[in-house]
Amino acid sequence: MKVTAIISDELIKEVKKLTGGKNITDSVTIALKEWLALKKVKELNHLIKEEPLEFDACFSAEKVRKTSRG
């Protein structure tokens, strides 16, 4: 998708430097993908905080090891 955006030269320069992108498009793509990944992790953390994971009463590391080694 072709997009026109007004972004300061300083911001673009910093994004290019920190992402190591080959050009503006590559740099902005890398930055957006990393931002999305961080947002998804934050959302997951929020969900887990609201409803923490629980192990079954019969859970044990020994049982998992035996199952894994099958």
Cα–Cα distance, 34 to 28 (Å, whole number):
10
Cα–Cα distance, 49 to 4 (Å, whole number):
39
Tell which wins on pLDDT, 11 or 58.
11
Structural domain total, the chain: 1
**Element (H or E) spanning 34, and its range?**
helix 24-50
- Asked if residue 30 is part of any domain, the answer here is yes
- Asked if residue 50 is part of any domain, the answer here is yes
Tell me the two tokens of residue 61.
């590391």
Residue 51 three-state SS: coil
Per residue in 4-31, pLDDT tens? 999 999 999 999 999 999 999 999 999 9
CB 27 within 8 A of CB 15: yes
- Asked if residue 37 is part of any domain, the answer here is yes
| Residue tagged 């959302």 (tokens) | 43
The pTM of the full predicted model, rounded to 2 decimals, is 0.71
> Residue 58's pLDDT band (boundaries 50, 70, 90)?
confident
